Copies of this chain bind each other. A is one copy, B any other.
């Protein structure tokens, strides 16, 4: 995989899509078409589409980690498909729980087919993830499978915390970082570990790649939180100021509330009235975004994302990994840091 970003992501997509399609074809016709819609393979009537199936970041981490550990990426494809399925399971259920109506510029599953179908489609994706990794013939598949299962539990813990935070006005930055670890970083760390494991990498290499993936994951979530306030709706596919409108305890907001002085207190007071926030005008939300910025939340988050990326780079600096894939891992980290959507 000797391509610059987002070439690696595209190549990963090419390698795993046939496997994902084979797995999805095991489902009954109804769920097969719903899941195919979610992946952008068809529209809601089943007509073939060349839609946006997502960025394939996690499976790219799996395949690049396997290559960095000296193996061919093919040995890690079952793991790559599995993490992509777990990720998409969480998207489908999160959209339902958060009542998000739009994903990848299209209506979400629950918005098209209702709650029960979205519950079932998420369940099916999680179940298929395990089938994916069970299809691996690697001698290390069992170990990789345990890593996947534990990361899934962490992911659910993160989402559980996210849900609980919605009812609280006293969420600390520490709690918020721990939630972000569970919700995003755990699966990205696991992706790198799974790739290294399926490649038969020694423990120091596995661990270093896990730290790399986890820090890239945290940086990724911080950028996501920045885009949730300052992202361009036409690029992100989400409504403008979406995280402010939903009073989300995202990292820049939580930082500004905890350390942002007067601006932070004003922001905290505004965030307590969820009904008001939901109906706020764009001008009002613009002013609230200004409070996050004046409270230092934007600057801290931007710096923290770069600090995490540097920690990721340092983690793999001292272990023996293959230089080419190592470069691509760094390029992937930078791509995620600079992304606009």
Contacts and interface: CB of A to CB of B under 8 A. Distances in A.
Given A28-B160, A131-B150, A153-B127, A115 B115 contact: yes
A101 to B, nearest CB: 16
Nearest to A152: B127
A163 B27 CA distance: 15
Interface in A232-262: none
B116 A163 contact: yes
Interface stretch (A12-20, A138-146, A188-196, A296-304): A138-146
A164 interface: yes
A339 to B, nearest CB: 28
A229 interface: no
Given A156-B124, A156-B127, A117 B150 contact: no
B153 A26 contact: yes
A30 B162 CA distance: 12
Interface string A89-105: 10001001100000000
Contacts of A316: none
- Chain multiplicity (copies): 2
A194 to B, nearest CB: 14
B127 A149 contact: yes
A210 B122 CA distance: 28
A120 to B, nearest CB: 5
Contacts of A163: 116-117, 120
Chain A interface mostly helix, strand, loop or mixed?
helix
B123 A149 contact: no
A184 to B, nearest CB: 16
Contacts of A27: 153, 156-157
Contacts of A146: 131, 134
A119 interface: yes
Interface string A154-190: 0011011101100000000000000000000000000
A149 B126 contact: no
A266 B130 CA distance: 46
B120 A149 contact: no
B126 A159 contact: no
A86 to B, nearest CB: 9
Interface in A20-71: 26-28, 30-31
B123 A97 contact: no
B120 A159 contact: yes
A218 interface: no
A156 B96 contact: no
A329 interface: no
A288 interface: no
Nearest to A31: B160
A97 B120 contact: yes
A209 interface: no
Contacts of A80: none
22 contacts: A26-B153, A28-B160, A30-B164, A31-B157, A89-B123, A93-B119, A96-B119, A119-B122, A120-B156, A120-B159, A122-B123, A123-B123, A124-B153, A126-B126, A126-B127, A127-B152, A127-B153, A134-B142, A134-B145, A134-B146, A134-B149, A141-B142
